[in-house]
C-alpha cells in the first residue's frame, strides 16, 4: 500500500527530509519502523531509541504497536514540547 511518511523536529533533520511516499506491506507501526531502519544507517540512527518517538496515524496520536489500517499519512516525531 502507498503511504505518506512524515518526519518532524530532530527526526526530520536526522533522516534529512520532511516527508516521503513509500510502498509498503507493513501492517503495524512497528513493522514499518523495522522496514525503514533496514534501509539506511540514517534511518537506523533516527529510530534507535523508540522511547523517544511518537507516532500519529492520519493526524491522530497512536501507539507504536498500532495497526496501520487504512492510514494514508503516518508521522513520526519526538515528544511534543509546545505551550
Footprint of other proteins on this chain (CB under 8 A)? Answer: 6, 8-10, 12, 56, 59-61, 75, 77-83
Nearer to other proteins, 36 or 75 (CB): 75
Nearer to other proteins, 17 or 61 (CB): 61
To the nearest whole angstrom, how small is the minimum distance from the Cβ of residue 66 to other proteins? 16
| Residues near 29 by beta carbon (within 8 Å), at least 6 away in sequence | 55, 57, 62, 63, 64, 65, 66, 68, 74
Nearer to other proteins, 34 or 63 (CB): 63
Please give the Cα distance from 70 to 73 (Å, whole number).
Answer: 9
Amino acid at each position: 500500500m502507498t503511504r505518506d511518511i512524515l518526519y518532524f523536529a530532530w527526526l526530520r533533520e536526522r533522516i534529512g527530509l520532511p516527508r516521503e511516499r513509500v510502498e509498503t506491506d507493513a501492517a503495524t507501526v512497528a513493522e514499518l519502523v523495522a522496514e525503514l531502519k533496514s534501509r539506511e544507517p540514517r534511518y537506523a540512527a533516527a529510530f534507535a531509541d523508540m522511547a523517544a518517538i511518537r507516532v500519529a496515524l492520519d493526524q491522530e496520536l497512536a501507539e507504536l504497536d498500532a495497526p496501520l489500517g487504512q492510514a494514508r499519512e503516518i508521522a513520526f516525531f519526538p515528544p511534543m514540547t509546545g505551550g
